[in-house]
Homo-oligomer: A and B are copies of this chain.
Amino acid sequence: MPRALIITGEGFEDIELLYPYYRLLEAGFEVVIAAPSRGRVRGKHGYEVEADQALDEVDPASFDVLVLPGGRGPERARVHPRAGEVVAHFIDSEKPVAAICHGPQLLITARRVSGRRLTSYWGIRDDLVVAGAEWVDEPVVVDGNLVTARYPPDIPFWMREFFRLLERRGLLKPYPEG
């Protein structure tokens, strides 16, 4: 069973976490949510999810794909000393990475945006440009293994491109049993 990691923290944008979480479960993935510490994490709109692992415990090599939802979660996660290293693993090993809204803040923390074509929530565009990214204002941007989007209305386009990438990588079975 392919394995997905979601990195987040308190104040995540609920739908940006819940959509890829349920979408990957629907496709037969095992999905692990990691946050600065284990236990309940609450979204901006009040949905709660359980962080299965603290960032300290994450073994990034055991995962096939990474998802970085937005909201205030990425700021909470990025100050954890292991966050950058965990994210960098996925970029360096060319595993599929989906990031939306403020999620790309974690790519900056990982020092992995220089030279990448991507998008994000408009409010962090300048940070990404200063960090060396080619920032574009499009609903979804695919650059190799990196699939980025701006805000919740982009979700269907973001996930369509991400799932195309997963299919190309052989990580999908259509409508798995179980």
Could you tell me if A167 and B156 are in contact, using CB atoms closer than 8 angstroms?
Answer: no
- The yes or no answer to A151 lying at the interface (CB within 8 A) is no
- The yes or no answer to A22 lying at the interface (CB within 8 A) is yes
- The yes or no answer to A155 lying at the interface (CB within 8 A) is yes
- The yes or no answer to A41 lying at the interface (CB within 8 A) is no
CB 8 Å contact bits of A11-26 with B (1 = contact, 0 = none)? 0001100110011011
On chain B, the residues within 8 Å of A155 by CB distance are 22, 26
Write the nearest CB–CB distance from A5 to chain B, whole angstroms: 17
Q: Find the B residue at minimum CB distance from A164.
A: B175
Could you tell me if B26 and A160 are in contact, using CB atoms closer than 8 angstroms?
Answer: yes
Could you tell me if A156 and B25 are in contact, using CB atoms closer than 8 angstroms?
Answer: yes
Could you tell me if B164 and A45 are in contact, using CB atoms closer than 8 angstroms?
Answer: no
Cα(A113)–Cα(B122), bound, Å: 48
The SS class assigned to the A binding surface is helix
Cα(A91)–Cα(B23), bound, Å: 27
Q: Counting chain B CB atoms within 10 Å of each CB, which of A18, A46, A155, A156 scores highest? A: A156
Cα(A175)–Cα(B46), bound, Å: 32
Write the nearest CB–CB distance from A120 to chain B, whole angstroms: 19
- The yes or no answer to A121 lying at the interface (CB within 8 A) is no
CB 8 Å contact bits of A153-178 with B (1 = contact, 0 = none)? 00111011001100100000011100
> Which of B18, B26, B167, B176 interacts with A15 by CB under 8 Å?
B18
- Chosen A-B contacts, 14 in total, with CB atoms closer than 8 Å, are A14-B14, A14-B45, A15-B18, A15-B22, A15-B47, A18-B152, A19-B19, A22-B156, A22-B159, A26-B156, A45-B45, A45-B47, A160-B176, A167-B175
